[in-house]
Amino acid sequence: MSVLVGKRAPEFKAKAVVNGGEIVENFSLTDYLGKKNVVFFFYPADFTFVCPTELLAFQEKIREFESIDTVVIGASVDSEFSHWKWLQTPLKEGGINGVTYPLVADPSLMITKAYDVLAGEFLVDEAGELVFEGNPQAYRGLFLIDKSGIVRHQVVNDMPLGRSVDEALRIIDAWQFFEENGEVCPANWHKGEKGLTATQEGIASYLGRKA
């Protein structure tokens, strides 16, 4: 598994569904450079069981993400037509109607592979043919990409394990606190709490406050 933290987020242009039903041809994360932080997350597949709970949970908190200058973008290996259909399907029928943030289509698996969350790999068999071994879906990867296009946080869950949207919000708060104050965030830090300076004196002072 690649560690992308500290590196420029892999770029791509792909079809996506935006605003809950509009298909666009050349969606790109570079559209947000210099403007917004990006939470870019992968999920295994449309019309599954854990996935709608995650997508709807992100939607429920979308105003909180917007308030901290962050856009949310989802992606899976499904086509744009599958995304569109899922977005039009009512919640009581297993759909995600009401989700407004972009969903990127990656049927070629190339974006999923670039972020190294593909649950399998391409191999060459004994006949010299390119074959895929494993599950051609994405693990539940999540990447915080800052306004300059650098990955600042990543987490990858196996497919049965849903993520915490609140933790994604906490991480953004922590990164913005560091950017604004130059102080680092200790374990279990939450917005409104003090940070610490990355020195022996700063750590000692913080631990003294906690004692």
Determine the straight-line distance between the first and last CA of the chain, rounded to whole angstroms.
Answer: 38
**Catalytic residue ranges:** 51
Contact 145, 129 (CB under 8 A): no
Residue type at 79 in one-letter notation: S
Residue 74: closest CA among 91, 57, 93, 88: 57
Distance CA 202, CA 196 (A): 6
- φ, ψ dihedrals at 41, nearest 5°: -125, 145
DSSP 51-78: HHHHHHHHHHTHHHHHHTTEEEEEEESS
Q: CB neighbours of 46 closer than 8 A, spacing ≥ 6? A: 76, 78, 82, 83, 85, 86
